[in-house]
Amino acid sequence: MNFCVVWINLIGSLLEKLLYLLYSALGTGLYCLLVLLFPLMRLVGGRYGYGLEQRLGRYPGRVALRRSGHSILWMHASSVGETQAAVILIDALLRSCASLRIFLTSTTEQGHRMAQSRLSEKVVCLLAPLDAPPAVRRAVRFLRPDLYIGLETELWPVLLTRLRAAGVPLLLLNGRISERSFGRYRRIRSFMQSFLAGFEAVAAISEADGLRFAGLGVPESRIQVCGNLKYDMPAEQMEHTRAAQRKRLGVAEQKVFVCGSTHEGEEAMLAPVYRKLAATFPVVWVVAPRHLERLPAVEALFRRLYLPFERYSELAGKERTAAVVLVDVMGDLADLYCGGDHIFCGGSLVDRGGHNVMEAARWGRPVCFGPYMKDFNDAAHLLQSTGGGFQVADADALTALLLHHHARPEAYLAACTRAAETAAGQRGAVARQAGIVCQCLASSRKTTNAAPFLP
């Protein structure tokens, strides 16, 4: 029996190594192809050429990265959502950890642009290297970090393996794994476990996330449930944000119906909801498609439905003239939720897994969502159980609920209170996670010798 177990483990280890080698080989092939095509892609420009040099691990200049007494922290926030969390964490770290220099990398153009607009004076904002050995090797050699932090579910095998081999401590903060992703990862559990084992600590958003990380092989002793960084925002900042958003939308007494992160097909379902609301009370409909490349299709839909609209970017410095606002920028939705009165989270009337309902609930507004919430089922269930969130079967049910809240202001205000209280229960994450970072940095300073960094 023991002999069989040894053979099974040996075969599993070999398969794991083969899978990693295949992944690395494919990454190297892609890297070589991009190097060959680089002059053409640079000439063409657009999103395919955006920051390609940095994606290949070629960062600008040979700046003096290391200063006497400074620790270098490499934080990776893939896109806009993770960057929002990074902003909050970085502010806390710069206040609590002395002599810290931070490099923030992003995978997407939107995330990189948002990082630059919010953090350019505090940190160095770069694009992340492709998860291919040549690009990763260049990036690690250039940044020479004392600590690496991945946010949410940023699990890049080559990068994590290379950093671990270089002796760089790894942290996964604001960690989350959806039920759907967990099902996929579990099929390659041994492969996942091999590089998840490199994390010194995993700060999970919820108990369910923590259990899923444990189910993928992370030792329970390294998992802490810390809550979500995105919910830690002072009350005075909330009031300022709401006032600023409603001023930009040009509303005073009017209600604002915000539909965030909508997917293909949802705008057509939601248009009749807006029309029925508008027939009952003055309302501005704010629509924020999840993917900006869908803007032309959404605009065409509005024209077919004879719905006059304005782009959100055009409202800066001018008066709004249409009752429908189409959000055409990335990174503003979280604040736009604050200016809303009735909120719907998209990707849930169509089967796209839903989106982060707590991001809206933290502003003290009840959140509505459809039947498809696989990716954020935990948060949706929590809000439903407290009465701060409402799951609807379809657009007709959404209309009935919103009209009920309008006719029964006491029920609406009670739901606002419950949403705020539920979100408030998730706060404190920034202090807990910043503490993990500072503790890890202090520990690494004690154990690191003065040898040169040679990954």
What are the structure tokens assigned to 318, written together?
């001018």
Chain centroid to CA 369: how far?
19
Contact between 229 and 430 under an 8 Å Cβ cutoff? The reply is yes
Own/partner long-range contacts of 391-396 (Cβ < 8 Å, ≥24 apart): 392/368, 394/269, 394/349, 394/370, 395/269, 395/270, 395/272, 395/273, 395/349
Distance separating alpha carbons of residues 361 and 356, to the nearest angstrom: 9
10 Å Cβ neighbour count for 9? 11
CA torsion through residues 14, 17, 22, 28, sign: negative
212 contact partners, CB below 8 Å, separation of at least 6: 177, 179, 182
Shortest CA distance to 330 belongs to which of 292, 287, 296, 286? 292
193 contact partners, CB below 8 Å, separation of at least 6: 216, 217, 218
Q: How far is CA 124 from CA 101, 113, 118, 183, 325, in A?
A: 9, 12, 11, 36, 34
Q: Which residues on neighbouring strands pair with residue 147, listed in sequence order?
A: 73
10 Å Cβ neighbour count for 100? 19
In angstroms, the first-to-last Cα distance of the chain is 41
Is 82 in the active site? yes
Contact between 99 and 70 under an 8 Å Cβ cutoff? The reply is yes
3-state secondary structure of 97: coil
Question: For the chain, how are helix, strand and coil distributed in percent, rounded to 5?
Answer: 55, 15, 30
Distance separating alpha carbons of residues 153 and 175, to the nearest angstrom: 6
Contact between 129 and 135 under an 8 Å Cβ cutoff? The reply is yes
Query: Which entry of 82, 152, 310, 359 is annotated as an active-site residue?
Result: 82
Contact between 284 and 334 under an 8 Å Cβ cutoff? The reply is no
Shortest CA distance to 229 belongs to which of 429, 432, 431? 429
Q: Annotated active-site positions, please?
A: 82
